Structure 1
Amino acid sequence: MKTRRVILASCTALALALGASACGGGPVTPAGGGDKTLDGQTLTVAGVWSGTEQKNFQKVLDAFTAKTGAKTQFVSTGDNVSTVVGSKIEGGNAPDVVMVPQVGVLQQFAKEDWLKPLSRTTEKAADTNYASVWKSYGTVDSTFYGLYFKAAHKSTVWYSPAALDQAGVKPPKTYADMLKAGQAVADSGLPAFAVAGEDGWTLTDWFENIYLSQAGPEKYDLLATHTIPWTDPSVEKALTTLGTLFADKELVAGGQKGALGTDFPGSVEKVFGPDPEAGMVYEGDFVAGVAKDEFGKKIGEDAAFFPFPAVDGGKAPVVSGGDAAVVLKAGKNQKAAMAFLEYLATPEAAAVWAGAGGFLSPNKKLDLASYGDDTTRETAKSLIDAGDSVRFDMSDQAPAAFGGTKGAGEWKLLQDFLRDPSDPKATAAKLEAAAAKAYKG
């Protein structure tokens, strides 16, 4: 599970009505119009969110209530969504809707026969309002189960404008230029990068961006599904590229040991905290929330980003993550659940959270003016403009035993590689052994 941080701001109003029809059955009561046609029903939605994210999602639930009359209840699952949802199904108190944060978990739910196919209205909205890649990630065995509502842009490098100005460099366009800029920052007296090596998931994100740009989207898809092994030469090449950075003690704040002792919030603090220890930190758009909320930085002025740069002549990568809404068969309020999914597919629903902050939508019909600041608008535009070249976080597509378990699988092996990046070939072999075991299981 990937760490999330968000920004809290003001909320926009919601407008238009939504018509709907059920999947393979009779009509579903429209979600729009404020006609209170779901009065008396209570919709239970489960998800990983807590804190500010949960409060902002509650605004979306409240807007749905205002339009339909359905009461809503949010249940926070914590990180282990699969276990919690499974136990609730067994106990006869399954939620109606689950916001699933990993493709692998969505696929697991489908294979367990826990999910109800989404309505034709929702599927039509996905076809119209989203790049097709998002629908594909919500589809299992040709059946559309998951609608992506919230996205993350994981191809952003955040930096201190003051640090780059002091070094006399501008945001780079290529990976090679990024390392050169990093050396200039180091020469000016500040290590270039804060690397959150204590959190293995950040290292998978580093790898995925390099791999997507260097090897290309077709290879990325093959590796993500373990159609090609991790011993493929393209993996060793990407690890070699990553290892060049990891091995350079001038570029990495604290060297390998310091990086392995730095978690994600700590990596942001090293760049944007009161006593800067680095000039740049790579991670997703959610870095902005930490820089603003925890350290009072003005986004776009005190903290800015540049797109993760192209590697070895490839295209600049756009790696994403996100939360897909699914409807459980075991839920007690199918009518309200289907209406809620149809509502989530509209740009109006996305505008609620966009106005509240800490949110990106893959819905290309959402007006960028709905976002509260220029930097978020720029990030959202980059995500939308990438279209079908967006690729979902690879580790989130893998079985959790390989791609999502602390102290095991890819997380641990990339931490080991950060500790000693001298043998990419051996690391690739270890990754393949762990992947083969996890995918077989």
Structure 2
Amino acid sequence: MSTIRKRRLLLPLAAVATVGFALTACTGDIASEEAGDTDCSEYEEYGTYDGASVTIGATIVDIEADRLVESWTDFVNCTGIEIDYQGSQEFEAQIAVLAEGGNAPDIGFVPQPGLVQRLADGGWLIPASESVEANADEWWTEDWKAYGTVDDTFYGAPLMSNVKGYVWYSPSEFEENGWEIPTTLSELRDLSDEIAAAGDHKPWCVGLESGVATGWPGTDWVEDYVLRLQGADYYDQWVTHEIPFNDPGIVEAFDEVGEYLKNEDMVNGGIGDVSTLVTEAFGTAGLPILDGECSLHHQASFYETFWNPEGGDAAVVASDGDVFGFMLPPENAGDPLAVTGGGEIVVAFTDAEEVEVVRTFLSSDTWANNRVSLGGVISANLGVDPENASSELLVQSIEILQNPETTFRFDGSDLMPGAVGADSFWSGIVDWVTGDDTQSVVDAIEASWPSS
């Protein structure tokens, strides 16, 4: 019996991308022993690899990292492939430097398609094997597969997902006041005006602070409005710079969002005036809803995990609970549901067979159901049973992603070059909410777009 540890594939890389490898290997006594009472029937196709080890890096930390490691425990026990996961919030900023120095992990979970392109352009990524691509074709839509594709080369399948554009609210407050869930952007504005006119509290609470990434929650607002006001084709041309950042359609989206974020009558409920938007952490900004100090908060599905104020009881997230969410509505009643969102792409920096076995597993419906069942996250994998999700809102989010009528677009800033999406767009939002006019901000962002 041979032992595999970072063993190079016998096939050249070009062949890996087009031919793939058979998911079989040596039979290992060690793997069998570690499996113990684990039912390995779902993992037989992957073979066993005694002594093999794969390193993974990502931004996922704390309890989500613990759940991530738990999600592949049976796979590890049944295949014998040891997975060493290291999470760091600096992963995105460091991974290109690590790759250039030859110190990248075997696998990376990259949350920005724009960063995937940068890594591919640097020559650091390994094209995905046929097995990974087959899973991507079976379990993911063409749009999702495209986020892991650069210049017609498929580098990695998606992993987890999130749905952006939720408006969080208190169901009991809505019931007490007879408020209906808005079905159009105009109705949302009318509701906001009604709450503001009552004078009890500001309708919206907002937090844009996120360390070096301060401003990103504001980019989510703008992206949601661009998609709803201008449509998916326009959005696609915007994020690829076929339409300039200072186009009138983008100005319109900024100005619509500004009716909330730059308006003292609308924000910042339970926190302070407009200036507090850039100092309030995005993770705590929605909590005033629980105290009746604001009524509405714009944030993604992953915000569900933040409804647990320090020293207090966890809020119940449900349509009849303490807090729930509805999707930011379309411009016109009856328009198809259009949502933005995000996720991770599983890329490889090492061309070892065991690396591709791990990537194949992570792109499968088996892994997706494992992880979703552990709670707190969703996946756009079409093989996920929505009922495995840990809450009513996450079930709804999976159903949105799996609905063929949904128009889904990846977070725009994550698709843009880093100089824009992770720099000038974020800082531009800060400048904008603190006083700069829309045109000067979008002109500055346009000027920052790389020439090549």
Q: What is the TM-score of this pair, normalised by structure 2?
A: 0.84
2:322 corresponding residue in structure 1: 302
* Worse-matched range after superposition: 30-39 or 349-358: 30-39
1:321 corresponding residue in structure 2: 342
Q: Within 2, Cα distance between the matches of 1:88 and 1:432?
A: 29
Q: How far off its partner does 1:129 sit?
A: 1.2
Q: Within 1, Cα distance between the matches of 2:24 and 2:433?
A: 54
2:4 corresponding residue in structure 1: none
Q: What letter matches 1:364 in structure 2?
A: L
Alignment of 1:131 onto 2:112: no
Q: Within 1, Cα distance between the matches of 2:442 and 2:100?
A: 39
2:370 corresponding residue in structure 1: 352
Alignment of 1:260 onto 2:273: no
Alignment of 1:48 onto 2:64: no
Q: Within 1, Cα distance between the matches of 2:316 and 2:406?
A: 32
Q: Within 1, Cα distance between the matches of 2:57 and 2:96?
A: 8
Give runs of aligned pairs for residues 274-423 of structure 1, distance below 5 A: 275-292=291-308, 296-300=314-318, 301-311=321-331, 315-328=336-349, 331=350, 334-385=352-403, 389-405=407-423, 409-420=424-435, 423=437
Give runs of aligned pairs for residues 196-207 of structure 1, distance below 5 A: 196-198=207-209, 199-207=214-222
Q: How far off its partner does 1:179 sit?
A: 1.5
Identity %: 25
Match of 2:181, SS state, is: coil
Q: In structure 2, do the counterparts of structure 1 residues 265 and 387 end up closer, same or farther at CA, with 3 Å as the change threshold?
A: same
Aligned mate of 2:259, from 231, 238, 244: 244
Q: Within 1, Cα distance between the matches of 2:420 and 2:157?
A: 25
Q: What letter matches 2:232 in structure 1?
A: P
2:190 corresponding residue in structure 1: 180
Q: In structure 2, do the counterparts of structure 1 residues 247 and 89 end up closer, same or farther at CA, with 3 Å as the change threshold?
A: closer
Aligned mate of 1:424, from 438, 444, 447: 438
2:248 corresponding residue in structure 1: 233
Q: In structure 2, do the counterparts of structure 1 residues 82 and 431 end up closer, same or farther at CA, with 3 Å as the change threshold?
A: closer
Greater relative contact order: 1 or 2 (C-alpha under 8 angstroms, separation 6 or more)?
Answer: 1
Q: How far off its partner does 1:383 sit?
A: 1.9
Q: What is the TM-score of this pair, normalised by structure 1?
A: 0.87
2:36 corresponding residue in structure 1: none
Preserved contact between residue 206 and residue 286 of structure 2 (Cα < 8 Å): no
Match of 2:43, SS state, is: coil
What do the CA deviations read for 1:88-115 (whole angstroms, capped 9, x no partner)? 652x443211111111110011111111
Aligned mate of 1:141, from 151, 163, 177: 151
Q: Within 1, Cα distance between the matches of 2:186 and 2:68?
A: 40
Alignment of 1:164 onto 2:174: yes
Q: How many residues align?
A: 408
Match of 2:358, SS state, is: helix
Q: What letter matches 1:302 in structure 2?
A: D
What do the CA deviations read for 1:232-260 (whole angstroms, capped 9, x no partner)? 11111111211222233222123312323
Aligned mate of 1:105, from 94, 115, 127: 115
Preserved contact between residue 160 and residue 380 of structure 2 (Cα < 8 Å): yes
Q: What letter matches 1:203 in structure 2?
A: G
Alignment of 1:120 onto 2:135: no
Q: In structure 2, do the counterparts of structure 1 residues 89 and 402 end up closer, same or farther at CA, with 3 Å as the change threshold?
A: closer
Q: What letter matches 1:322 in structure 2?
A: G
Q: In structure 2, do the counterparts of structure 1 residues 179 and 25 end up closer, same or farther at CA, with 3 Å as the change threshold?
A: closer
2:24 corresponding residue in structure 1: 29
Match of 1:116, SS state, is: coil
Q: How far off its partner does 1:219 sit?
A: 0.8
Match of 1:213, SS state, is: helix
Q: What letter matches 1:27 in structure 2?
A: A
Q: How far off its partner does 1:144 sit?
A: 0.6
Preserved contact between residue 77 and residue 84 of structure 1 (Cα < 8 Å): no
Q: What letter matches 1:358 in structure 2?
A: G
Preserved contact between residue 292 and residue 298 of structure 1 (Cα < 8 Å): no
What do the CA deviations read for 1:374-399 (whole angstroms, capped 9, x no partner)? 22101111122156721110111122
Preserved contact between residue 163 and residue 340 of structure 2 (Cα < 8 Å): yes
Name the larger-Rg structure: 2
What do the CA deviations read for 1:103-146 (whole angstroms, capped 9, x no partner)? 11100111111111111122122112111100011100101102
Match of 1:309, SS state, is: coil
1:221 corresponding residue in structure 2: 236
Q: In structure 2, do the counterparts of structure 1 residues 370 and 87 end up closer, same or farther at CA, with 3 Å as the change threshold?
A: same
Q: In structure 2, do the counterparts of structure 1 residues 95 and 261 end up closer, same or farther at CA, with 3 Å as the change threshold?
A: closer
